[in-house]
Amino acid sequence: MKPINVGLCGVGTVGGGTITVLKRNAIEITRRAGRPIVITMAANRDLIRARELCGDDITLTSDAMDVVNNPEIDIVVELIGGTTIAKDLVLAAIANGKHVVTANKKLIAEHGNEIFTRATEKGVMVSFEAAVAGGIPIIKALREGLTANKIEWVAGIINGTSNFILTEMRDKGLAFNDVLKEAQRLGYAEADPTFDIEGHDAAHKLTIMSAIAFGIPVQFDKAYLEGISKLAAIDIQYAQELGYRIKLLGMTRRREQGIELRVAPTLIPARRLIANVDGVMNAILVKGDAVGATMYYGPGAGAEPTASSVIADLVDITRLHTADPEQRVPHLAFQPSQIADLPILPIDEIETCYYLRINTEDKPGVLADITRLLADNDISVDAMLQRPIAGEARADIIIITHLAVEKRVNTAIKGIEALPSITGAVVRLRLEHLNG
């Protein structure tokens, strides 16, 4: 059967992995897809580097638009990243009636609505499994595997760098900055790690999963982000004493009034399987009303794991592009006409459990004042721990709350911070029980 001709835009780490795996497993992939899938053209700014990775069989160009405008190309793979050139070329590929595969989470999370609208108009497929959680087929699971369910929430450890740092902080009792340096030395963190440690990367992925889970547009601008750079080692230790682990968790939950969408360091019970996902690994826990909780675990980054998802999308398109476009798997899991206008809730309105650490003088009446302020704001206490601070007449009081509304927790915290025996800011972290 006639091969599927693929044009590759961007020959970097993932592009190189895609070339390698497509070649190494060509027989296996053709046995599955029914047709050979062959990269015939590639674009890269650095042509010398590209030639090393592409070998002699692939036509090279330094202009990605050459790929997009090549009438022989059936599918364009966008691995350039960013939202400028990448967006232009994806839209141009669609306009030319080509199917698109991309690993670009930022592009999909920020411009997915526009891209999918154009793709639907032209009847082409835009696939992006590699944009979320690297090699884990989580997009497929959410979009196709769990279609029977009303999804209640999706919780994910979806940034390997942050998870590596948190794992090391816990295992070795080290401070954030020391572990960050180690992660940079090992190549698990970039020289400028902001994008990973402040939650941007995770929020891009979570935004995409939220849209697919609930049938809403992608709305990255409404996601709430809180990173791990201010997390203190002592809170990881107290959490552990109380039976919890702290993870940078992406959490999106359906509530009656709208959708919660946030990335933040979060306590989760240590006995949950997902709490034991350590190092650079990723995992996503999905709660559906029919199936209950299912979890998907694997490598969230890396050349070949990401290539695994890129190629799965190529095989998918090869298998399914002949299906009626009106019926075929919709880009965001729900038919375009059925995307709902549910609002993303402001962070003030979310409802979850909280961990509070309060540094106080160790004297009578303080606890009564604190618990009174909590009660006044409808916050009830689930667990409490008091720890003296060595050599001082002070103590840390740690409180785990039941479900509470965030703005009330903030009000209570303001009240607590104004108490005369309290020093400094109250540490507030969110806590998710993730009950199956």
313 with 4: CB under 8 angstroms?
no
Asked if 23 is part of the footprint of a second copy (rule: CB under 8 A), the reply reads no
Residues 311, 38: contact at Cβ < 8 Å?
A: no
Whole-number minimum distance, CB 321 to a second copy, in Å? 8
Residue 225, Cβ density class (10 Å: 0-12 exposed, 13-18 middle, ≥19 buried):
middle
Structure tokens at 188: 């698990």
- A 10 A CB-CB count for 198 gives 20
205 is catalytic: yes
74: CB partners within 8 A, 6+ apart: 4, 5, 6, 98, 99
Cβ proximity to a second copy: between 97 and 388 the closer is: 97
Binding part of the chain for a second copy, among 87-95, 230-238, 326-334, 372-380 by CB under 8 A, reads 326-334
Q: How far is the CB of 181 from a second copy (least distance, A)?
A: 26
Report the distance separating Cα 416 and Cα 21, nearest Å.
57
Task: Name residue 299's amino acid.
Answer: P
The nearer residue to a second copy, 259 or 400, going by C-beta atoms, is 259
Binding-site residues sit at 9-16, 105, 190
- Assigned token pair, 69: 């405008």
Q: Which of 84, 194, 257, 276 binds a second copy (CB under 8 A)?
A: 276
Q: Contact with a second copy (CB under 8 A): which of 10, 15, 135, 199?
A: 135
**CA 91 – CA 73 distance, rounded (Å):** 15
Task: Write the interaction track for a second copy spanning residues 74-113; mark x where CB under 8 A is met and - where it is not.
Answer: ----------------------------------------
Residue 58: closest CA among 10, 18, 98, 6: 6
Give the Cα separation of 234 and 236 in Å (integer).
5
**Residue whose structure tokens are 């674009």:** 43
Does 294 bind a second copy (CB under 8 A)? Our answer is yes
List the one residue from 175, 270, 273, 375 that touches a second copy (CB under 8 A): 273
335 belongs to the binding site for a second copy (CB under 8 A): yes
Task: Single out the segment in contact with a second copy by CB under 8 A; choices: 87-95, 217-225, 229-237, 313-321.
Answer: 313-321
User: Active site residue: 205, 222, 247, 407, which one?
Assistant: 205
Binding site for a second copy (CB under 8 A): 17, 21-22, 24-25, 28-35, 129, 135-137, 140-141, 144-150, 215, 273, 276-277, 288-299, 302, 304-305, 307-312, 315-316, 318-324, 326-330, 333-335, 338, 340
